[in-house]
Structures are given as structure tokens and as C-alpha cells.
Chain A
Amino acid sequence: MIRLLQQSFDPGAELSAFCQGRQEVGAVASFTGIARAEQGRTETLELEAYPGFTEAAIGEIAREAETRFGLQAYLILHRVGTIAPGEPIVFVATASAHRREAFEACDFLMDYLKSRAPFWKKETGPDGSRWIEPRASDLTDLARWETKP
């Protein structure tokens, strides 16, 4: 399931709900990304999505992860709108029979979300605003998945 959220959320509560009622899932992995203050340089983050297009693009990535890692379930939450430092910005949970697939699928989904998912991120601080684009390391992280089967 994929949800774009206008308001902050509780990653712990989301993880508990995701784990509930699963009897054949041996492993759940999760990742929570939190907005950094950057020593006061960031006062707010603005996250923009393209409604419809963004969910569809993430859905394609998630279907690839399901096939590639044999996922039994996944949950992807991503904030949009104005985010304060310390607030969760992204949450990914993956469920599979064994731990390796759950870990790898979570890692894979995050690498794609960082540099391929249709979001645009603006950081505002005392020195003004700037749009954030993928760093070279984000693209290197993504390339890891293109060389492996």
C-alpha cells in the first residue's frame, strides 16, 4: 500500500499495524527517514508531489520489489507539504518469509524513492530556500540494483 500524507504520522504505530495478523510472514523490515535540522540551516522542508503520477510511479517500483524479492506485503508512506526537522518524512515496511528479502526490498525501495520517485524537495532556512536534487551518492546507491540480477 502507498499513501501520501499531508500530516505527520507515527512510524511506530504504522509498524505495529503492519505486523498485525500475519501468520506466514517470518520477517518485517522497516525504514524511517527523518527530516534533519542541519545544525539550524534547515527550518522547514517543502515536499511537492504530482498527484496520481507520483503514486503510479511508486506503484511500479513497488511491483518490481514484490517480484524481485518475493514480498508478501509492503507499506510506503511519504509526507508531502511542509515538514519540520525531527518529523518523519518517509516510512517503508516490507514483509517476507525470511529476513534477507525483507531487508533488501526495504533498501531497494528507499534507493528508488530517493532518486526516482516524483517528489521535489525545497529546504528553507535562515539563508533562504533551495531545491534539493539527488546527490551523487544517491545515484551510486541506485546503480547497485542495476548490476545485480
Chain B
Amino acid sequence: MARVLMFGRLADLAGWRDRLIEAPTVSALRAHLDSLDAQLAEALAGPGVQVALDQVLLRGDAPLNPNSEVAFLPPMSGG
């Protein structure tokens, strides 16, 4: 079980911000999320969407363990 977090417009699209999901890798998690909702799948693949694993930005794939935290981050805008 990984803890999956959605931020910004991704959370609005998904309809949740925090959920436990069983997946062996980040790519398997992505495939699972894509199968849930086509609109969310499109948004997750959109420009500027980043993924953080255990609060570190991730490029590519990585294995997940029961304590992993995966966050999906749309383009950021502060100030």
C-alpha cells in the first residue's frame, strides 16, 4: 500500500487528495490510476505534471514499499 497524494487541479479531477493504493511500482500505480478515470489519466500525462516519491521529485520509475508516499504535482504557482 502506497499513500497517494493529489494536488491542485489533479485533486479536483480525481475527487480525492489522499488515498492508499496497492501497487508494486510507480508505473504500475500510474497504470492503475489511468484505468480509473480517462480524464484523470489525460491530466496526469499533461505538460508540467511532476511526480514526487517520498517528497523527492522522481524521473522514471521506482519500486514502492508499504510506507511509500507518491505525490502528483501539477504546474506550481506561488505568490
What residues of chain A have their CB less than 8 Å away from a CB belonging to chain B? 33, 47-48, 50, 52-53, 56, 78, 89-90, 110, 113-122, 131-134, 138
Q: In the complex, what's the smallest C-beta–C-beta distance from A24 to chain B, in angstroms?
A: 29
Contact A120 B7 (CB under 8 A): yes
Q: A50-B52, A131-B9 are in contact. List 8 more A-B contacts (CB 8 A).
A: A48-B8, A50-B55, A52-B55, A78-B79, A90-B79, A118-B7, A120-B8, A120-B74
Task: Please give me the residue from chain A that is nearest to B50 by CB atom.
Answer: A118
Complex: A19 Cα to B8 Cα, angstroms? 36
Main secondary structure of the interface of B (DSSP, over half): loop
Knowing A52-B55, A120-B8, A131-B8, say if A113 contacts B78 (CB, 8 Å). yes
The 8 Å CB contact of B76, one of A52, A78, A120, is: A120
Cβ proximity bits B2-34 to A, threshold 8 Å, 1 near / 0 not:
000101110010000000000000000000000
Contact A134 B76 (CB under 8 A): yes
Complex: A38 Cα to B47 Cα, angstroms? 27
Complex: A119 Cα to B8 Cα, angstroms? 8
Contact B7 A50 (CB under 8 A): yes
Contact A115 B7 (CB under 8 A): no
Task: Please give me the residue from chain B that is nearest to A131 by CB atom.
Answer: B9
Task: Please give me the residue from chain B that is nearest to A46 by CB atom.
Answer: B8
- Closest 5 interchain pairs by CB? A120-B8, A119-B78, A117-B78, A131-B9, A113-B78
Chain A CB within 10 Å, residue with most, of B48, B55, B71: B55
The interface residues of chain A lying within 8 Å CB-to-CB of B40 are: none
Complex: A109 Cα to B63 Cα, angstroms? 35
Complex: A132 Cα to B75 Cα, angstroms? 9
